[in-house]
Amino acid sequence: MAASILSAALLLPGVQAHAEAPPANGEISVNYMNYEDRQSGLQRTTVHSPSLSILAPVAGDWALEGTLVSDDVSGASPRYHTAISGASHMHDHRDAADVAATRYFDRGTLTVGGAVSTEHDYFSRALSVKGSIDSESKNTSWSLGLGRSDDRINPVNLIVVNETKRTTNYLAGVTQILGMNDIVQLTFTRTLGEGYFNDPYKSLDNRPRERAESSLLAGWNHHLVATDGTARLSYRYYHDTYGIRAHTYTGEYVQPLSNGWSVTPQARLYTQSAAYFYYDPVYDAQLGAPFPPGYNGSGYMSADQRLSGFGAVTLGMKVSKQLDKLWSVDVKFDAYQQRGSWRLFHGGSPGLDALRAQTIQLGVNRAW
- DSSP structure string for 23-60: -SS-EEEEEEEEEEEEETTEEEEEEEEEEEEEEEEETT
- Assigned domain for 241 exists: yes
- pLDDT recorded at residue 16: 40
- pLDDT recorded at residue 18: 41
What's phi and psi for 144, nearest 5 deg? Answer: -135, 145
Q: Which of 266, 253, 252 is nearest to 335 (CA)?
A: 266
Q: How confident is the model at residue 290 (pLDDT cuts 50, 70, 90)?
A: low
Q: How confident is the model at residue 367 (pLDDT cuts 50, 70, 90)?
A: very high
pLDDT tens string 139-156: 999 999 999 999 999 998
- Assigned domain for 136 exists: yes
Q: How confident is the model at residue 76 (pLDDT cuts 50, 70, 90)?
A: low
- Assigned domain for 70 exists: yes
- Assigned domain for 3 exists: no
Angle value at C-alpha 289, between 287 and 293, nearest 5 degrees: 110
How many CB atoms lie under 10 A from the CB of residue 255? Answer: 15
**294 Cβ contact partners less than 8 Å away, ≥ 6 residues apart:** none
Number of domains in the chain: 1
- Assigned domain for 118 exists: yes
pLDDT tens string 202-260: 877 899 999 999 999 999 999 999 999 999 999 999 999 999 999 999 999 999 999 99
- Assigned domain for 339 exists: yes
- Assigned domain for 1 exists: no
Report CA-CA distances (Å) from 176 to 8, 143, 172, 218, 252. Answer: 14, 12, 14, 12, 20
Query: pLDDT at residue 283 above 90?
Result: no
Question: Is the pLDDT higher at 45 or at 190?
Answer: 190
Q: How confident is the model at residue 87 (pLDDT cuts 50, 70, 90)?
A: very low
- pLDDT recorded at residue 304: 86
- pLDDT recorded at residue 41: 61
What average pLDDT does the structure give for the chain? 88
- pLDDT recorded at residue 118: 97
**Average of pLDDT values for 97-108?**
96
Query: pLDDT at residue 23 above 80?
Result: yes
Is the model's pTM score more than 0.85?
Answer: yes
- pLDDT recorded at residue 75: 77
Q: How confident is the model at residue 354 (pLDDT cuts 50, 70, 90)?
A: confident
Rounded to whole angstroms, the Cα distance separating 298 from 167 reads 25
Q: Give the domain extent around 52.
A: 8-367
Report CA-CA distances (Å) from 49 to 82, 116, 206, 259, 295. Answer: 29, 16, 31, 30, 40
What CATH number did the domain enclosing 47 receive?
A: 2.40.160.40
Query: pLDDT at residue 74 above 90?
Result: no
Query: pLDDT at residue 84 above 60?
Result: no
The fraction of the chain above a pLDDT of 70, given in percent, is 85
Q: How confident is the model at residue 305 (pLDDT cuts 50, 70, 90)?
A: confident
Let me know how long the chain is: 368
- pLDDT recorded at residue 291: 55
- Assigned domain for 2 exists: no
